Amino acid sequence: MKKNGKLAQSYLVVVFLVLYAPILYLTYYSFNSAGTMQGFEGFTLEWYKEVFHDTRLFIIVLNTVVIALLSSAISTILGVVGALAIQRVRRNRPRNTLLAMNNVLIVSPDVIIGASFLIFFTMIGIKLGFTSVLLSHIAFSVPIVVLMVLPKLQEMSPTLIDAAKDLGASGWDVLTKVVLPFLRPGIFAGFFMALTYSLDDFAVTFFVTGNGYSTLSVEIYSRARHGISPSINALSTLIFLFTISLVVGYYFLTRRSSRKPDWGVVQP
């Protein structure tokens, strides 16, 4: 295929600049001793020190990570079970109903998910806080995991299972030694997807978190509403670095596992 012309290249450069401008801007002013997002006064690490000494913030980060890991682990298990369930339903109608149900939470706006869960938790008497946030994160992650695992499951040849059974494997053996290893890429993808959704979620959490319990995005929201605070800048720089390191790690991980050079692929 043809290479891009000058115009195309400059367009892409502009798009990338705009995409990264806010992030770089935040990072730049996290070192500003004036503590504002204008007029760079001098270099300082004070705000980073403040972030590391802020125990409240530390607890909130811990909350966020615990919720993310727990919810994605549980939703991965439920999602795999769900995918196996949907796969086994042979008739079209109930199967489509299940798939449609599965898609409801994926396409619903976060505000509606949050509002309906708020009503739900209040009605059945679950106190708003850790439990409600965890349950709602699991709830919106399960369908994502199902959607990541299901295609892999459909890809699997049924003869694999027949062969395992012929060779004397019990139902449990078939599941743990044949099906699950085959599904592993899908399961991992689902887990990471659930993790990022959970870490990124604001709207749903904002609805179902009560007083006293907070996750990172809710905390950032309430701080940002009070105007500019340099510790958010420092925090976002740290989050950005963490994200980048995850991406780089993921990049090398996928590179090692598949010998195919699928990064920077050859042009068709």
Partner 1 sequence: MTRTRNLYLIPYAAWMLLFVATPIVLIVYNSFFDVEGHFTLGNFQKFLTPVYLRMTFNSFWYALLITAFSLLVAYPTAYWLTRTKHKQLWLLLVIVPSWINLLLKAYAFIGLFGTYGFVNSVFEMVGIGTQQILFTDFSFVFVSVYIFIPFMILPIYNAIEELNPSLVYASRDLGASPWMTFRRVVFPLTLGGVKAGCQAVFIPALSLFMITRLIAGNRVVTLGTAIEQHFLVTQDWGMGSAIAVLLIIVMAVIMLMTGNRGARNTIR
Q: CA–CA separation, 67 vs 82, rounded Å? A: 21
Per-position b or e across 235-253, b if 16+ CB within 10 A of its CB: bbbbbbeeeeeeeeeeeee
- Least distance CB 65 / partner 1 (angstroms): 13
The least distance separating partner 1 from the CB of residue 52, rounded to whole angstroms, comes to 18
The nearest distance, CB 255 to partner 1, in angstroms, is: 11
H runs (alpha helix) in the chain: 6-29, 46-53, 55-88, 92-107, 110-124, 130-155, 158-166, 171-173, 180-200, 203-208, 216-225, 230-257
Mention every residue, 6+ apart, whose C-beta is less than 8 A from residue 138: 71, 74, 75, 78
Q: Which is nearer to partner 1, 62 or 119 (CB)?
A: 119
**Toward partner 1, which CB reaches closer, 8 or 62?**
8
Min dist. Cβ of residue 55 to partner 1 (A): 21
Shorter beta-carbon distance to partner 1: residue 36 or 52: 36
**Per-residue tokens: 228:** 């500019």
Q: Which C-beta is closer to partner 1: that of 47 or that of 82?
A: 82
Shortest distance (Å) from residue 250 CB to partner 1? 9
Q: How many residues does the chain have?
A: 268
Of 16 and 58, the one with the shorter C-beta distance to partner 1 is: 16
